[in-house]
Amino acid sequence: MKVLLLLVTFFVASISDAQVTPPAPFGILPSERQLRWHETEMYVLVHFTPTTFENKEWGYGDADPGIFNPSDFDAGQIIKAAKAGGFKGLVFVAKHHDGFALWPTATTTYNISKSPWNDGKGDMVGAFAEACRAQGFKFGVYCSPWDRNNPVYGTNDYVRIYREQLRELYTRYGNLFMSWHDGANGGDGYYGGARESRKIDRSVYYGWDTTWAMTRKLQPGASIFSDVGWDVRWVGNERGEAAPTSWATYTPMPLDGKSKAGPGEVKDELNPEGTRHGDFWMPAECDVPLRKGWFFHPSENNTVKSPEKLFDIYLKSVGRGGALDLGLAPDTRGLLHEEDVKALQGFGELLGKTFAKDLAKDARIAASQVRGGNKSRYGTSKLTDGDRYSYWSTDDGISDPDLTIEWSEPRTFDLFRLRENIKLGQRIEAMEIDSWEDGRWKPIASASSIGACRLILLPAPVTTQKIRVRVTKSPVCVALSELGIFHSRG
């Protein structure tokens, strides 16, 4: 009898599952590669070249390779510190604007084999790649298109050399999660002794279409970052801050401002918000150095950002649907300075403490409607199951549903985390949160874009037994995958 009952239940459940079709995806969708990038959320960007030993921010391209000789280089120490900060990947600057290649390349003699480090037998890109793998970290490379050392910079020969440098990087160091291309282009430099200024037309010179076709072929999992966009766009500042409303979709504008451009085509103006209903899925990467500069300078030891400042940046980057790319600058020992290690450790602890207890998990969450009445597939339990892609949804046509979250006794909190299942596109445009106080609903927060992650910090903690989340604007039914409630000041 029991077996029969179970079978009947199973049968009825499968029929109702089959009858409820999932919501149709909305607009432009992320690629698998971009989904992995969104999941990464936080990574570091390491600058360490002869420029460090010159105590400069931009090497001119004329530094003697003999000065590059770290006394105690340890990629493991740097990764360990980043990991303690909650970061999941590392992008290493394999070549900065000074043109010095940190790996033994065949493309230029201005490379690590000419330095005394490891008797000229070292490979710093390899050392980082290996140490990342050993610590379960993702690894990526930054290879500067601008090269102030190369005698042929500005000609087509250089573009061929640059592509060959990328080919070496793509084929020697395993799977990369990012290929990072900065946007500083042309100007004065050493250029093989010419010591002059060279200008290039960045809209055509590099032929990015050809270069990135190679990236796709050799490193299909690598998200391409560039100031002209591709998989990931630059947020438009080096403070690590996305706009309060941030759309993951984007339509780049060309220089002439007349027509629409494709990804990779130069635009004259960045729209920090992204573009609602834009032509491409191109979320923002928010880069910011841990110190004042991207390179280590002893005089900037007192500029290391505090864990609290890093948390604020986290709220404005990851918390606005982007990723946080934090610049780390090893000193001339080849290690992260003690202050930097301390700040990262403190930040990691702050994150751990903040997100340790999700109060939504012990609340009763009731939805105004559940898609097809199918709670097992689209019900509110999906909001707290830790899965970014399972979700609460409603029937088509219901685009302003709400959730009531109730505890058995009052709870104190000040932070919300919301996520949409972005596999179905970025859908929600506005929501409000109310708290039940003195017998009525009182508005406590509101948000516009949600996307991969939206963190909302309240100005002060709120204590209540009941809250309400109201979606007030969405062009289609919702696909909300997470509602987390935390107490960051607890």
* Chain positions contacting ligand FUL, by CB under 6 A: 45, 182-184, 287, 294
240: left (phi over 0), alpha (psi -120 to 50) or beta: left
- Taking the complex as a whole, the smallest distance from the CB of residue 122 to ligand FUL amounts, in Å, to 22
How far is Cα 452 from Cα 38, in angstroms, rounded to an integer?
7
Handedness of CA 249, 225, 260, 186 (dihedral sign): positive
How far is Cα 371 from Cα 70, in angstroms, rounded to an integer?
60
* Nearer to ligand FUL among residue 184 and residue 430 (C-beta): 184
* Nearer to ligand FUL among residue 53 and residue 294 (C-beta): 294
- Taking the complex as a whole, the smallest distance from the CB of residue 182 to ligand FUL amounts, in Å, to 3
Indicate the SS3 state at residue 459. Answer: strand
Structure tokens at 269: 């103006």
How far is Cα 317 from Cα 43, in angstroms, rounded to an integer?
12
- Taking the complex as a whole, the smallest distance from the CB of residue 238 to ligand FUL amounts, in Å, to 7
The closest of 228, 187, 231, 191 to 206, measured between CA atoms, is 228
Indicate the SS3 state at residue 484. Answer: strand
Query: If you compute the radius of gyration of the chain from its CA atoms, what whole number of angstroms results?
Result: 25
The closest of 298, 470, 480 to 381, measured between CA atoms, is 480
* Nearer to ligand FUL among residue 182 and residue 241 (C-beta): 182
* Nearer to ligand FUL among residue 123 and residue 287 (C-beta): 287
* Nearer to ligand FUL among residue 186 and residue 346 (C-beta): 186
Residues with Cβ within 8 Å of residue 109, at least 6 apart in sequence: none
* Nearer to ligand FUL among residue 183 and residue 461 (C-beta): 183
DSSP string, 433-458: EEEEETTEEEEEEEES--TT-EEEEE
- Taking the complex as a whole, the smallest distance from the CB of residue 237 to ligand FUL amounts, in Å, to 12
How far is Cα 108 from Cα 99, in angstroms, rounded to an integer?
9
Give the residue closest to ligand FUL by C-beta.
182
* Nearer to ligand FUL among residue 182 and residue 340 (C-beta): 182
- Taking the complex as a whole, the smallest distance from the CB of residue 22 to ligand FUL amounts, in Å, to 40
* Nearer to ligand FUL among residue 151 and residue 183 (C-beta): 183
How far is Cα 141 from Cα 45, in angstroms, rounded to an integer?
9
How far is Cα 57 from Cα 50, in angstroms, rounded to an integer?
11
- Taking the complex as a whole, the smallest distance from the CB of residue 47 to ligand FUL amounts, in Å, to 6
- Taking the complex as a whole, the smallest distance from the CB of residue 458 to ligand FUL amounts, in Å, to 33
- Taking the complex as a whole, the smallest distance from the CB of residue 234 to ligand FUL amounts, in Å, to 9
